[in-house]
Amino acid sequence: MYCGQSKKRVKSYMGNLAINGGKPVREKPWPLHTTIGKEELDAVTRVIEGKNLSLYEGNYFADEPFSFLGGPYVNALEKKWADYYGIKHAVAVNSATSGLYAAIGALGIGPGDEVIVSPYTMSASATCALVYNAIPVFADIEPDMFNLDPKSIEERISERTKAIVVIHIMGHPADMDSIMEIAKKHDIAVVEDCAQAHDAVYKGRKVGTIGDIGVFSLNVNKTIEVGEGGVLTTNDDDLALRLQLIRNHGEVVVDQMEYQDLNNMIGYNYRMCEVEASMAIEQLKKLKDFNSVRRELADYLNKELSRFDGITVPKEKEECTHVYYVYGMKFDEEKVGVSRDVFCKALCAEGIPVFQGYMKPLYLQELYQKRIGYGGKGCPFQCHHYDGEVSYEKGICPVAEKMYEKQYFGFEYLKAPNTLEDMKDVVMAFKKVFSNLSELKEKNND
């Protein structure tokens, strides 16, 4: 029973569960999330009318706007991003995936090296090691925050460890003090994957400014959206230069610059174009507003949903600001009496699109299970430069596995154009499902 309501009252407004043919709480579709407005349209129009859609050239020392370092909108975005984040350098790229790859390249990581990463994330957080022939080593997550557990990181450190990729998953900062302390102790680099955490704050510092390199995504689903895009942040001059070189076929200019450190100077095309940069400049101006909508809706859900026994709403650690890229919850099957999956199916039937599990822990995916890698010869897993023995066995990260299999479920619509009215439907659906658990328990036994 929900919050001491009488059976009578529940009956009066609760029909049969939609999963059993009853009328759903919500029939209205969830609106498409877009934060693109007139400002972005005008900015893109200016770029298109100016006819210079992308402005990079192969001369490092050329004057703007035709420079190896990109055109005026890319440069302006980088300047504004660096100012906003209070960091020395921002480097715009065409996705966070490219950004993660460039980060591992810039750090000089290569064959035989290991990179510690969470398995509970999007694939690119780990493949960034593989593309430089390094080995991802998976550490477990904290049971309550879904972020890397520093204790597990410490257990995975070896003499081959060169970096930790920390993901501020769902929009909540990872435990950066502990992670930075481990990194310092073992002299290893920290890359912060902030794809889901624009403007999240850890003890007064924005995520992406604490480790060696921060990586942001600007893809269509992210809090700042430009279609596809990414931004890197760093306070280190040499890393910034190396990121710029990797972004734009670095090898074509290292001669003119007399650049000496050729490790990983095999360039890619990770360039952001002027159109994306012009939109990102407008989106950055609105970032605070975007997050305040998310936080307002999350506050409401936290208050309402924490009343249900068996549901753990997202936590916000002391001195941290959660930006709720995803509203991630934990489910206790024993308390509720049905499985998470049956419960989620019931909510979906009520018109609330929740999803279960988030990511299958990465090491359980085929890439790691089969270890085919490059060229069909098992490289880098079986590369002669690698003298470690990495395990991708089931059971290596029990918390992440349990989260995926039984506990985690999330909701992604706490963002504009949704409002508190839409969140009321979510709460109503939870009430209805909780009030009809006996009906659902039969389903659980099917």
Ligand X SMILES: Cc1ncc(COP(=O)(O)O)c(C=O)c1O
In the block, tokens 């980088």 appear at: 78
Tell me the β-bridge partners of 230: 93, 217
User: At residue 211, what is the residue type?
Assistant: G
Identified binder of ligand X from the candidate list 118, 217, 234, 435, rule CB under 6 A: 217
- Does position 147 bind ligand X by CB under 6 A? no
**Residue nearer to ligand X on the CB measure, 19 or 124:** 124
- Does position 17 bind ligand X by CB under 6 A? no
**Residue nearer to ligand X on the CB measure, 198 or 295:** 198
Identified binder of ligand X from the candidate list 124, 240, 293, 440, rule CB under 6 A: 124
Each residue 376-405 as x (binds ligand X by CB under 6 A) or -, in order, gives ------------------------------
Residue 172 in tokens: 């909540």
Could you check whether the bond before residue 380 is cis, i.e. omega within 30 degrees of 0?
Answer: yes
**Residue nearer to ligand X on the CB measure, 121 or 321:** 121
**Residue nearer to ligand X on the CB measure, 54 or 219:** 219
Residues from 77 through 116 that contact ligand X (CB under 6 A): 95-97
Identified binder of ligand X from the candidate list 122, 191, 279, 390, rule CB under 6 A: 122
Segment lying near ligand X (by CB under 6 A), choices 191-199, 248-256, 313-321, 379-387: 191-199
H-state helical runs in 149-253: 150-156, 176-186, 237-247
Give the other-Cβ count within 10 Å of 235's Cβ.
15
Report CA Rg, the chain: 24
Cα dihedral across residues 81, 82, 87, 93: positive or negative: positive
Q: Residues with Cβ < 8 Å from 103, sequence gap 6 or more?
A: 128, 191, 213, 215, 232, 243
- Does position 291 bind ligand X by CB under 6 A? no
Tell me how far, at minimum, the Cβ of 101 lies from ligand X, in Å: 10
- Report the chain's terminal Cα–Cα distance, integer Å: 23
Identified binder of ligand X from the candidate list 67, 121, 283, 321, rule CB under 6 A: 121
Total number of residues that touch ligand X (CB under 6 A):
14
Identified binder of ligand X from the candidate list 125, 264, 321, 418, rule CB under 6 A: 125
What span, in angstroms and rounded, lies between the C-alpha atoms of 78 and 233? 9
What order of strands is seen across the sheet that includes strand 201-202?
205-206, 201-202, 320-321
Segment lying near ligand X (by CB under 6 A), choices 102-110, 171-179, 192-200, 314-322: 192-200
From the centroid of its chain, how far is CA 334? 30
**Residue nearer to ligand X on the CB measure, 124 or 426:** 124
Q: φ, ψ for residue 327 (rounded to 5)?
A: -95, 95
Q: Are 206 and 57 in contact (CB under 8 A)?
A: no
**102 closest CA partner among 176, 12, 212, 18:** 212
**Residue nearer to ligand X on the CB measure, 91 or 427:** 91
Tell me how far, at minimum, the Cβ of 256 lies from ligand X, in Å: 30
- Does position 214 bind ligand X by CB under 6 A? no
What span, in angstroms and rounded, lies between the C-alpha atoms of 111 and 105? 11
**Residue nearer to ligand X on the CB measure, 207 or 336:** 207
- Does position 283 bind ligand X by CB under 6 A? no
Each residue 156-185 as x (binds ligand X by CB under 6 A) or -, in order, gives -----------x------------------
- Does position 233 bind ligand X by CB under 6 A? no
Tell me how far, at minimum, the Cβ of 79 lies from ligand X, in Å: 21
Tell me how far, at minimum, the Cβ of 167 lies from ligand X, in Å: 5
Q: Residues with Cβ < 8 Å from 339, sequence gap 6 or more?
A: 333, 406, 444
> Which helix (H) or strand (E) covers residue 292, if one does?
helix 274-305
Segment lying near ligand X (by CB under 6 A), choices 36-44, 193-201, 239-247, 355-363: 193-201
Residue 367 in tokens: 């890439």
**Residue nearer to ligand X on the CB measure, 55 or 103:** 103
User: At residue 72, what is the residue type?
Assistant: P
Burial of 193 (0-12, 13-18, 19+ CB in 10 A): buried
Burial of 38 (0-12, 13-18, 19+ CB in 10 A): exposed
**Residue nearer to ligand X on the CB measure, 188 or 195:** 195
Tell me how far, at minimum, the Cβ of 254 lies from ligand X, in Å: 26
Burial of 412 (0-12, 13-18, 19+ CB in 10 A): middle
User: At residue 199, what is the residue type?
Assistant: D
**Residue nearer to ligand X on the CB measure, 174 or 305:** 174
Identified binder of ligand X from the candidate list 219, 312, 339, 444, rule CB under 6 A: 219
Segment lying near ligand X (by CB under 6 A), choices 39-47, 121-129, 174-182, 291-299: 121-129
What DSSP character marks residue 141?
B
Tell me how far, at minimum, the Cβ of 219 lies from ligand X, in Å: 4
Interface residue list for ligand X (CB under 6 A): 95-97, 121-122, 124-125, 167, 193, 195-196, 217, 219, 230
